[in-house]
Amino acid sequence: MDLGLEGKIAIVNGASQGIGYAIAGALAGEGARVAMSGRRAPALDAARDALTRATGGELLAVPGDIRRAEDCERIIAGTAAHFGGLDILVNNDGAPPLGQFLDFDDDAWRRAVDRNLMSVVRCIRAAAPHMKTRGAGSIVNITALSAIQPIAGFGLSVATWAGVIGLAKTLSRELAPEITINTLAPGLIDTPRLRLVAEQSPDEMSELIRDIPLGRLGDADEVAAAVAFLVSPRGRYITGTTLAIDGGLSRATF
Ligand SMILES: NC(=O)c1ccc[n+]([C@@H]2O[C@H](COP(=O)([O-])OP(=O)(O)OC[C@H]3O[C@@H](n4cnc5c(N)ncnc54)[C@H](OP(=O)(O)O)[C@@H]3O)[C@@H](O)[C@H]2O)c1
């Protein structure tokens, strides 16, 4: 199926490795021109070079930290200026630390809000006018299954991503009809981040995998394929949804 992404202009935040890298690769593979952000410039440059070789696409590395307001604005404005507009925004990054609620003070909460929620607010605020000018646009937020099926110790990310899901639902009305916005909630996906966790607690990881109906970790390319569909003209009638990509791990009916 041709997704119709040829020539579209996209920004994928947190794209030097893992899920963001796979998304940047999927979009570039479909012919989109893709800006990739991340904090470590050398890792980002290496990721851009690898994807350029693999896809033959046009990729741009824009180093930045999306916890900072000025970086969000610079990443969006720089991409739109470089490519001549913006059609697609993928909000993705790392995640706040895990831990017990009583151990986190206001500073920890402020950092989590800046990282998970305000980065999304700021990037959408900067990106939406470019999309409105072009008469169409698509936004996808990467959160986690824990945001819809909370886990003890994940409070910082569950609470802040719940805000992202609520914001996306609101914006699916407010930014319509030009802009669609959806949220993905991945389960356990094989990335450098998850490999670190698996190395630290191999028994817990095996137990978690046993609970996945499809019996394995997800692949970052499987998340990327869903993003590519949602931001493409083929996915144009889907907005305001939160989609779990979890091999059946969620026990919720809806
Ligand atoms: N892997 C899973 O099983 C899983 C499951 C559910 C949800 N998720 C969520 O999906 C997202 C991506 O996960 P992942 O496993 O791909 O993580 P990852 O392997 O740690 O990759 C995160 C990427 O984001 C970049 N990044 C981190 N903080 C950033 C910031 N402040 N500004 C800009 N870029 C930033 C990192 O590069 P730099 O460090 O150079 O900035 C890296 O390229 C995370 O939010 C994670 O919580 C992952």
What is the 8-class DSSP label of residue 212? -
Determine the Cα–Cα distance for residues 192 and 175; give it in Å rounded to an integer.
34
Res 253 pLDDT > 90: no
Res 128 pLDDT > 90: yes
pLDDT computed for residue 252 by the predictor = 87
Query: For a pLDDT cut of 70, what percent of the chain falls above it?
Result: 100
Please identify, by atom number, the ligand 1 atom nearest to the C-alpha of residue 71: 32
Res 231 pLDDT > 90: yes
Q: What is the average pLDDT value for the chain, to the nearest integer?
A: 97
Sequential DSSP letters for 156-190: HHHHHHHHHHHHHHHHHHHSTTTEEEEEEEE-SEE
Q: Could you tell me the distance, in angstroms and rounded to a whole number, from the CA of residue 193 to the centre of ligand 1?
A: 7
Contact 192/18 with Cβ under 8 angstroms?
yes
Q: Could you tell me the distance, in angstroms and rounded to a whole number, from the CA of residue 133 to the centre of ligand 1?
A: 30
Res 105 pLDDT > 90: yes
Determine the Cα–Cα distance for residues 219 and 177; give it in Å rounded to an integer.
32
Contact 116/161 with Cβ under 8 angstroms?
yes
Write the residue with the smallest CA distance to atom 8 of ligand 1: 144
Strands (E), 187-225: 189-190, 218-219
Domains with residue ranges and CATH for the chain:
9-243 (3.40.50.720)
Sequential DSSP letters for 98-144: P--GGG--HHHHHHHIIIIIIHHHHHHHHHHHHHHHHT-EEEEEE--
- Give the global pTM: 0.98
Determine the Cα–Cα distance for residues 139 and 12; give it in Å rounded to an integer.
10
Determine the Cα–Cα distance for residues 190 and 172; give it in Å rounded to an integer.
30
Work out the average pLDDT over 110-124. Answer: 97
